Amino acid sequence: MSRIENAHNIAALRREAQRRLPRMVFDYIDGGADDEFTLGANNRRFADYELLFKSLVDISEIDTATTVMGDACSAPIIVTPTAVQRLFHPREGEAAVARAAKKAGLIHCLSTLASTTIEDIARFNDGPKWFQVYVWKDRGLVEQALERARKAGFTGLILTVDVPVAGNRERDLVNAFSVPPEINAKTVSQVLARPGYLWDIATTSKISTANWVDLETRDMGIAEFLDTQFDRSVTWKDAAWMKEAWGGPFAIKGICRADDARRCVDAGADAVWISNHGGRQLDTAPATIDTLADIVAAVSGQAEVILDGGIRRGTDIVKALALGARAVAVGRPYLYGLGAAGEAGVTRALDILTSALRRDMALTGVTRLDALTPDFVRKPR
């Protein structure tokens, strides 16, 4: 049995990614901001909620199918947008993730900072897919990207709002890490320690923000590119403009307050996406699971609620759904798989989570997603 087939949980895929990737690249996936309190809390806080299971329930048929923002999917697990995925597997990158999501029947999200073009992703995945954007200074660039996404068959738009400036990701500073990666005195030993990765980098095209190469960003790191385009004067009016410019299903990602969730509804959002950017932005922000119930109450069914951050087990998914989330989204789990083994690793990560969801629904005594209600969850004092 291969190492990937023998990976029975996300933690095992994380270890495989750490074994294959240079430390600077692994730390870019794995790390958070400042002292990484929020990063750790996202993972730990799920354990503070207990599941009150029902007994003697007919669980012969478990149905995990659902819709999110109108798109049908085999399970309420969204493959969240993450940037420059060729960094983690230079030969496959976003193509591996798109294909694996298609096979799993899950919604795939493409980052505006992808290292594969919008059009290529449409070739790899003709299933449900959403495109992620920021509000940039040049609104014309945004409108061009939206038009390309429409033509390529993307059905949903995600506006990320929790990156007004980049967080203080100290692991990257210690590693002198940049995107695309540069070989320097600090990183040369890390790269030489992973000859397979070094060969992949040396024998594939340069990693870049593939959808913006015509803006002459080839000689500019992604951080510098973002700094030239991020509009720090963005307000809720701009979110409403984005919804109107897109004209279709629209999610606002990066919400942790109930009052901001209401503003999402007022701006026309079809989904409120609870996220603290995986603990990579404002450290000591609350774990996403701790904000879920208040946000669900605030939107009062006027928008669907998506939650990311810390999802590693089927029980995490069951708890989030029982507390009112329509779906959860995962980033690091499939990136560990991608770093470990390309498409095979992503497929394994998604299979681990979808299989665990079915098993843990059965153990909870629930056969349908809409039967998961808050009474299944208890938070001991």
**Residues designated as active site:** 277
**Chain centroid offset of residue 81 CA:** 5
CA–CA separation, 377 and 52 (whole Å): 6
Supply 62's token pair: 């478990």
CA–CA separation, 285 and 249 (whole Å): 28
Q: Which residues contact 377 (CB under 8 A, 6 or more apart)?
A: 49, 50, 51, 52, 319, 322, 323
Q: Which residues contact 227 (CB under 8 A, 6 or more apart)?
A: none
Of the candidates 327, 311, 320, 314, the one whose C-alpha atom is nearest the C-alpha of residue 354 is: 314
CA–CA separation, 31 and 29 (whole Å): 6
Of the candidates 96, 88, 87, 103, the one whose C-alpha atom is nearest the C-alpha of residue 121 is: 96
CA–CA separation, 52 and 46 (whole Å): 14
